[in-house]
């Protein structure tokens, strides 16, 4: 058995980033970012396009050098100790990169598996990820989604201790997304640490033990999804098949229990906020009665806590996508 590294003995984080700075010329992509990923956890880095997610993980993967601060991975330096880290860390690059275009799918996965002492059965992974029908197809002929799934298989086949997944489900169909989620859950059950980047809030909420929200290279919030979305104000949300202008929203507000206010949430969506005691059956009845009076059909009606997207909007005034 491999002797335990000193960092493991101390229960040190799997990844520890401290004051990280990454620049491209004048552009500061990562701006004094610090976070720690506990071993065995799923850690999601969430942020809009260009927030600095890929720059951060690629620095941790040893593909980029930090311009300031430090990144420690399994207690080691990702650039200097790259050789020692390679068998212990799985990497899934953005958009499914990393496979040789001329290799066949199964051949590629067997090759990666051959670098590991105790790999997962490649055939099993191909099956699980729906790649068996294209096992003999060359990588360059795979669809984008198939390349992405192969890239995930390559990241996990060697039973790494830590996996970096850069937007693992971007562009995948719902069924493939669920398979990816199941794999991440299986990794966690096996004690593997996963760091993933995403701009899907539902993915982060479903998978992550801890979420770091970044914007313009800086951390804007960090915590468990439950802690981040534990809003002071529960909210009722709905969509309507007709536009509700400011005047309509005022008349709706006037019919609601005291303290409740109806506002537009943009994009055909509306929300009612108010004191927690008022967000209940009476409110629901008042909203639907008002809609019925005006022959407005409400849809996607839900009462609940804030989503990570709401948190992000509150923090930055911008949408997550
Ligand atoms: N090689 C590069 N050269 C110049 N600028 C870069 C380079 N890579 C990234 N950037 C810039 O750095 C910023 C952060 O990019 P990065 O890819 O890390 O963000 P991201 O959060 O992963 O975005 P996305 O969700 O679009 O993948 C962006 O403004 C991007 O344009």
Q: Tell me the two tokens of residue 76.
A: 């080691």
Q: Give the list of residues 6+ apart from residue 30 with CB closer than 8 angstroms, or none.
A: 20, 21, 22, 52, 55, 56, 59, 217
Ligand 1 atom at minimum distance from 47 CA: 21
Chain centroid offset of residue 279 CA = 30
Q: Is residue 50 part of a domain?
A: yes
Provide the CATH number for the domain around residue 127: 3.40.50.300
Q: Is residue 159 part of a domain?
A: yes
Backbone conformation region of residue 279, classed left if phi is above 0, alpha if psi is from -120 to 50, else beta: beta
Pocket mutation for ligand 1, best pick of 27, 195, 198 (most atoms within 8 Å of C-beta): 27
Contact 36, 28 (CB under 8 A): no
Q: Tell me the two tokens of residue 321.
A: 């996508």
Helix (H, G, I), strand (E, B), or coil: what is residue 133? helix
Q: Do both 92 and 172 map to the same domain?
A: yes
Tokens 């409740």 -> residue: 260
Which among 229, 246, 281 is the end of a domain? 229
Q: How do residues 209-242 score in pLDDT, each as one tens digit?
A: 999 999 999 998 899 988 887 755 678 999 998 8
Q: Is residue 184 part of a domain?
A: yes
Helix (H, G, I), strand (E, B), or coil: what is residue 306? coil
Q: Give the list of residues 6+ apart from residue 10 with CB closer than 8 angstroms, or none.
A: none
Q: Do both 74 and 155 map to the same domain?
A: yes
Provide the CATH number for the domain around residue 289: 3.30.70
Reported ipTM: 0.96
**How far is the C-alpha of 237 from the C-alpha of 249, rounded, in Å?**
13
Q: Do both 145 and 181 map to the same domain?
A: yes
Pick the closest to residue 72 from 140, 149, 10 (CA basis): 10
Tokens 């941790």 -> residue: 60
CA of 270 to the centre of ligand 1 (A): 33
Q: Do both 215 and 256 map to the same domain?
A: no
Q: Do both 287 and 214 map to the same domain?
A: no
**How far is the C-alpha of 47 from the C-alpha of 45, rounded, in Å?**
7
Q: How many domains does the chain have?
A: 2
Q: Is residue 310 part of a domain?
A: no
The region of weakest confidence among 160-164, 263-267, 286-290 is: 263-267
Q: Is residue 314 part of a domain?
A: no
Answer yes or no: is pLDDT of 279 > 90: no
Q: Do both 150 and 244 map to the same domain?
A: no
CA of 131 to the centre of ligand 1 (A): 30
Pick the closest to residue 164 from 80, 65, 53 (CA basis): 53
Q: Which domain holds residue 146?
A: 6-229
Q: Which helix (H) or strand (E) holds 19?
A: strand 15-24
Ligand 1 atom at minimum distance from 199 CA: 25
Q: What share of the chain is helix, strand, coil (3-state, %, to 5)?
A: 40, 25, 35
Q: Tell me the two tokens of residue 226.
A: 């439950």
Q: Is residue 312 part of a domain?
A: no
- Nearest residue (by CA) to ligand 1, atom 5, is 24
Q: How do residues 113-136 score in pLDDT, each as one tens digit?
A: 999 888 999 999 999 999 999 999
Q: Do both 288 and 241 map to the same domain?
A: yes
pLDDT for 252 equals 97
Q: Could you tell me what percent of the chain has a pLDDT over 70?
A: 93
Q: Do both 167 and 104 map to the same domain?
A: yes
Q: Do both 107 and 213 map to the same domain?
A: yes
Is pTM beyond 0.95? Reply is no
CA of 135 to the centre of ligand 1 (A): 33
- Nearest residue (by CA) to ligand 1, atom 28, is 50
CA of 217 to the centre of ligand 1 (A): 10
- Nearest residue (by CA) to ligand 1, atom 1, is 24
Which among 213, 229, 245 is the end of a domain? 229
Phi, psi dihedrals of residue 115, rounded to the nearest 5°: -80, -10
- Nearest residue (by CA) to ligand 1, atom 29, is 50
**How far is the C-alpha of 90 from the C-alpha of 149, rounded, in Å?**
14
Q: Do both 61 and 180 map to the same domain?
A: yes
Q: Do both 87 and 194 map to the same domain?
A: yes
Q: Do both 74 and 129 map to the same domain?
A: yes
Tokens 């650039």 -> residue: 79
Ligand 1 atom at minimum distance from 217 CA: 14
Ligand 1 neighbours, Cβ below 6 Å, are: 24, 27, 29, 47, 49-55, 199
pLDDT for 251 equals 96
The dihedral over CA atoms of 111, 177, 189, 109, expressed in degrees to the nearest 10, equals 0
CA of 172 to the centre of ligand 1 (A): 21
The confidence band for 273, taking pLDDT boundaries of 50, 70 and 90, is confident
Q: In sequence order, what are the beta bridge partners of 299?
A: 239
Phi, psi dihedrals of residue 205, rounded to the nearest 5°: -65, -40
Which among 229, 257, 289 is the end of a domain? 229
Ligand 1 atom at minimum distance from 54 CA: 22
Q: Is residue 313 part of a domain?
A: no
């Amino acid at each position: 058995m491999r002797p335990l590294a000193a960092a493991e003995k101390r229960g040190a984080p799997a990844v520890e980033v401290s004051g990280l700075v990454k620049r491209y010329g004048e552009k500061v992509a990562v701006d004094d970012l610090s976070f720690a990923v506990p071993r065995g956890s799923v850690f999601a880095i969430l942020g809009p396009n260009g927030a600095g997610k890929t720059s951060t993980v690629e620095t941790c993967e040893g593909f980029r050098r930090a311009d300031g601060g430090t990144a420690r991975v399994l207690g080691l330096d990702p650039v200097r100790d790259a050789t020692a880290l390679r068998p212990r860390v799985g990497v899934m690059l953005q958009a499914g990169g990393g496979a040789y275009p001329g290799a066949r799918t199964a051949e590629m996965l067997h090759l990666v598996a051959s670098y590991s002492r105790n790999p997962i059965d490649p055939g099993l992974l191909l099956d699980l990820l729906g790649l068996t029908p294209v096992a003999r197809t060359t990588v360059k002929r795979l669809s984008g989604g198939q390349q992405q799934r192969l890239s995930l298989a390559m990241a996990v086949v060697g039973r790494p201790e830590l996996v970096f997944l850069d937007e693992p489900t971007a562009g995948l169909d719902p069924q493939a997304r669920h398979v990816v989620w199941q794999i991440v859950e299986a990794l966690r059950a096996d004690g593997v640490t996963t760091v993933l980047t995403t701009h899907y809030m539902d993915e982060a909420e479903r998978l992550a033990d801890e979420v770091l929200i970044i914007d313009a290279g800086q951390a804007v919030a960090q915590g468990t999804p439950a802690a981040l979305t534990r809003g002071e104000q529960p909210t009722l949300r709905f969509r309507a098949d007709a536009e509700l202008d400011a005047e309509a929203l005022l008349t709706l507000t006037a019919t609601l229990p005291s303290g409740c206010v109806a506002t537009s949430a943009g994009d055909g969506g509306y929300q009612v906020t108010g004191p927690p005691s008022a967000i209940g059956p009476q409110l629901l009845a008042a909203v639907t009665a008002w809609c019925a009076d005006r022959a407005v059909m409400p849809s996607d009606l839900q009462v609940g806590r804030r989503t990570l997207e709401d948190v992000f909007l509150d923090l930055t005034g911008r949408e997550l996508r």
